[in-house]
Amino acid sequence: MSLGGDVCVVTGACGFLGKRLVKLLLEEEKAAEIRLLDRDVPPHVLQSLEDCRGETILSVFEGDIRDGNFLRKALRGASTVFHTASLIDVTESVEYNEIYGVNVHGTQLLLEACIQENVAYFIYTSTMEVMGPNPRGEPIINGTEDTVYDTTLKFNYSKTKKEAEQRTLQANGEMLQNGGRLSTCALRPMYIYGDGCRFLLYHMGNGIRNKNVLFRTSVPEAHVNPVYVGNVAFAHLQAARILKDPQKRNIIGGKFYFISDDTPPMSYSDFNHALMSPLGFGIQDKLLLPLCIFYILCFLLEALCTILRPFVRIVPPMNRQLLTLLNTTFTFSYQKAKKDLGYVPRYSWEEARKHTTEWLASQLPMERAKIMSS
Q: Helix, strand, coil: what percent of the chain each, to 5? A: 45, 15, 40
Annotated catalytic residues are 157
Residue 80 contacts residue 240 (beta carbons within 8 Å):
yes
Which residue stretches of the chain are H helix? 16-28, 43-49, 68-75, 96-100, 106-117, 156-170, 198-209, 229-244, 249-252, 268-276, 291-308, 320-326, 335-341, 349-373
Of the candidates 289, 292, 268, the residue with the CA atom closest to the CA atom of residue 214: 268
Distances (CA, A) of 46 to 19, 49, 62, 84: 10, 5, 13, 18
d(CA 229, CA 2): 22
Which residues lie closer than 8 Å to 92 by C-beta, 6 or more apart? 155, 156, 315, 319
Q: What is the 3-state secondary structure (H, E, C) of 343-374?
A: CCCCCCHHHHHHHHHHHHHHHHHHHHHHHHHC
Q: What are phi and psi of 283, to 5 degrees?
A: -145, 145
Q: What three-state secondary structure class fits 58? A: strand
Look at the alpha carbons of 194, 198, 203, 205 in this order and tell me if their dihedral is positive or negative: positive
CA 193 to chain CA centroid, nearest Å: 9
**Helix H or strand E encompassing 227:** strand 227-228
Of the candidates 113, 244, 120, 137, the residue with the CA atom closest to the CA atom of residue 172: 120
Residue 49 contacts residue 90 (beta carbons within 8 Å):
no
d(CA 169, CA 342): 20
